[in-house]
């Protein structure tokens, strides 16, 4: 068998629409991208709908598909967040996204983010992590970025069909919500009851926690409450790496992407210099991608900045972030071994004029050994529409790569 490998470079939210500020070009058309265009000349291109035309997807869903799952395997945002911050998640766990918040004696939410607390959330979380509730159910709480945290309930007979305690923005000044079951099942009733017990106990412990006493003395809001939302149940999902018996690495700065990679059984690499913005460390990402491909079948390398600039309605800055992506791809290309395909993809479109994800397709590309190249010589939304891969789904694209590596079983005899 021929030993072939893939490095896939993903530009988050890359797809866009022609913009008047860019002479009616898309940021990708407008940007100076010599490396991406050379790859287009050498390779095969196409347009990819992650799920189907016109369906917008989130970064979590987009990467789930790019990492080899079908959309129906989506485990919910909570489990992905938990994995992203390095928490262990087991099948059957109920996972909730949380905020450290400030409430007063009457249960009124003074601040949903506890004064945007950033320091010592680790110590605060530790004081309630591992709390034993009733019936053998244990609560695990770990801090995420800034005022965010993740709560896991582990035990028998639990359900994710429970409401949120978080009154959500802009509802500071309103009481937190009592958690209610969303269906009539015993499991939902038990889970809602246990969560309410947890909230009360946590509030008692946090109210006198030394970090909060210190904060009050310093005139800051105490993190004396845990607001919960988005309960999800961790599904029993087979890691792609095990299913295909392959080794895969993922290099990224964003915890959502890292969480999905962990779900898939991929090794993850991150560093504080991979910022998720325009100042991210592209040299380190490119260096790691080349190092990792030596011992792996597939390496994913992710850049967040284009999505951020799309959300911010900043076409010129999005152009800059794409030029940075081009430079990163150029560094990888320079040291690319002969047996490695270089694939370009995005998880969704984030048009600057919209500031949100849309369902428009994104350009994709594969360059490398013995590829059937097409006549497209520019990597962008308009030219790749004429590419040899045509219009394909995210799963089609990933399968095409897996087939090039010899991972796809022959049908029939
Ligand atoms: Zn986004």
CA of 282 to the centre of ligand 1 (A): 20
CA of 318 to the centre of ligand 1 (A): 13
Q: Report the b/e string of 220-248 with b at 16+ CB within 10 A.
A: bbbbbbbbbbebbbbeebebbbeebebbb
Q: What is the pLDDT of residue 210?
A: 96
Helix (H), strand (E), coil (C) string for 299-324: EEEEECHHHHHHHCCCHHHHHHHHHH
- For residue 1, is pLDDT > 80? no
What distance in angstroms lies between residue 146's CA and the mean position of ligand 1's atoms?
Answer: 19
Ligand 1 centroid vs 350 CA: distance in angstroms? 7
pLDDT at 402 over 70: yes
How much distance in Å is there from the Cα of 33 to the middle of ligand 1? Answer: 22
Does 237 score more than 90 pLDDT? Answer: no
* CA 276 – ligand 1 centroid, Å: 11
**Hey, what domains does the chain have and what are their CATH numbers?**
5-75+238-404 (3.40.720.10), 87-232 (no CATH)
The model's pLDDT over 360-372, given as tens digits with 9 standing for 90+, comes to 999 999 999 999 9
pLDDT tens-digit series, residues 127-155: 999 999 999 999 999 998 889 999 999 99
The tens digit of pLDDT for each residue in 63-121 reads 999 999 999 988 888 888 899 888 999 989 999 999 999 999 999 999 999 998 988 99
Task: Give distance in angstroms: CA of 61 to centre of ligand 1.
Answer: 11
Q: What distance in angstroms lies between residue 234's CA and the mean position of ligand 1's atoms?
A: 23
Mean pLDDT of the region 191-218 = 97
The tens digit of pLDDT for each residue in 339-353 reads 999 999 999 999 999
CA of 349 from ligand 1 middle (Å) equals 9
Question: Closest by alpha carbon to 253, among 320, 180, 328?
Answer: 328
The answer on pLDDT for 170 being more than 90 is no
Q: Is 378 a residue whose pLDDT tops 90?
A: yes
What's the predicted TM-score (pTM) here? 0.87
Compute, in angstroms, the gap from residue 55 CA to the centroid of ligand 1.
Answer: 14
User: Could you read off the pLDDT of 15-36 as tens digits, one per residue?
Assistant: 999 999 999 999 999 999 999 9
pLDDT at residue 278, rounded to an integer? 85
Residue 236 has pLDDT above 70, yes or no: yes
Residues 6 or more apart in contact with residue 72 via CB below 8 angstroms: none
Output the six-digit token pair for 371: 């590829």
Ligand 1 centroid vs 339 CA: distance in angstroms? 33
Cα 345 to ligand 1 centroid, rounded to whole Å? 15
Indicate whether 356 pLDDT > 90. Answer: yes
Mean pLDDT (whole number) for 155-169: 93
Ligand 1 centroid to residue 52 C-alpha, Å: 18
CA 311 to centroid of ligand 1, rounded, Å: 7
Cα-trace Rg, the chain? 23
Write down the pLDDT at residue 172.
Answer: 84
Distance 14 CA to ligand 1 centre (A): 10
| CA 348/CA 353 separation, integer angstroms | 15
Q: Per-residue pLDDT for 261 more than 80?
A: yes
Rounded to an integer, the average pLDDT of 28-55 is 98
Query: pLDDT confidence of 407, banded at 50, 70, 90?
Result: very high
Contact 290, 332 (CB under 8 A): yes
Peptide bond before residue 216 is cis, with ω within 30 degrees of 0: no
Give the Å distances, CA to CA, from 141 to 93, 163, 193, 227, 305. 13, 18, 18, 12, 30
Q: What is the pLDDT of residue 242?
A: 95
Query: What spacing in Å lies between the alpha carbon of 360 and ligand 1's midpoint?
Result: 14
């Amino acid at each position: 068998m021929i030993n072939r490998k893939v490095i896939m470079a993903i530009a988050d939210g890359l797809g866009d629409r022609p913009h008047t500020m860019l002479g009616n070009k898309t940021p990708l058309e407008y940007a100076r991208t010599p490396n991406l265009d050379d790859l287009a000349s050498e390779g095969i291109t196409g347009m990819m709908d992650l799920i189907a035309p016109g369906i917008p997807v989130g970064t979590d869903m987009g990467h789930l598909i790019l990492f080899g799952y079908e959309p129906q395997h989506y485990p919910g945002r909570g489990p992905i967040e938990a994995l992203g911050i390095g928490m262990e998640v087991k099948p059957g766990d109920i996972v909730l996204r949380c905020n450290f918040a400030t409430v007063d004696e009457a249960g009124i939410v003074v601040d949903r983010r506890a004064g945007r607390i950033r320091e010592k959330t680790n110590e605060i979380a530790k004081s309630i992590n591992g709390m034993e509730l009733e019936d053998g159910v244990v609560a695990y709480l770990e801090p995420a970025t800034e005022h965010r945290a993740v709560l896991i309930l582990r035990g028998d007979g639990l359900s994710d069909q429970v409401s949120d305690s978080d009154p959500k923005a802009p509802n500071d000044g309103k009481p937190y919500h009592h958690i209610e079951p969303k269906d009539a099942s015993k499991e939902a009733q038990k889970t809602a009851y246990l969560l309410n017990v947890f909230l009360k106990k946590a509030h008692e412990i946090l109210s006198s926690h030394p970090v909060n006493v210190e904060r009050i003395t310093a005139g800051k809001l105490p993190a004396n409450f845990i607001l919960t939302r988005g309960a999800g149940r961790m599904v029993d999902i087979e890691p792609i790496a095990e299913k295909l018996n392959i080794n895969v690495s993922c290099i990224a700065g964003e915890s959502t992407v890292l969480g999905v990679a962990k779900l898939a059984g991929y090794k993850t690499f991150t560093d504080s210099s991979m910022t998720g913005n325009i100042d991210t460390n592209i040299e380190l990402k490119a260096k790691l991608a080349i190092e990792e491909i030596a011992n792996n079948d597939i390496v994913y390398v992710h850049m967040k900045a284009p999505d951020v600039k799309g959300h911010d309605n900043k076409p010129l800055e999005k152009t800059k972030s794409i030029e940075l992506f081009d430079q990163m791809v150029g560094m990888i290309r320079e040291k690319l071994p002969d047996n490695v395909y270089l694939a370009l993809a995005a998880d969704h479109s984030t048009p600057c004029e919209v500031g949100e994800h849309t369902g428009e397709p994104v350009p994709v590309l594969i360059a490398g050994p013995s590829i059937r190249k097409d006549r497209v010589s520019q990597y962008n939304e308009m030219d790749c529409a004429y590419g040899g891969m045509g219009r394909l789904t995210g799963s089609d694209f990933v399968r095409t790569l897996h087939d090039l590596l010899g991972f796809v079983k022959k049908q029939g005899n």
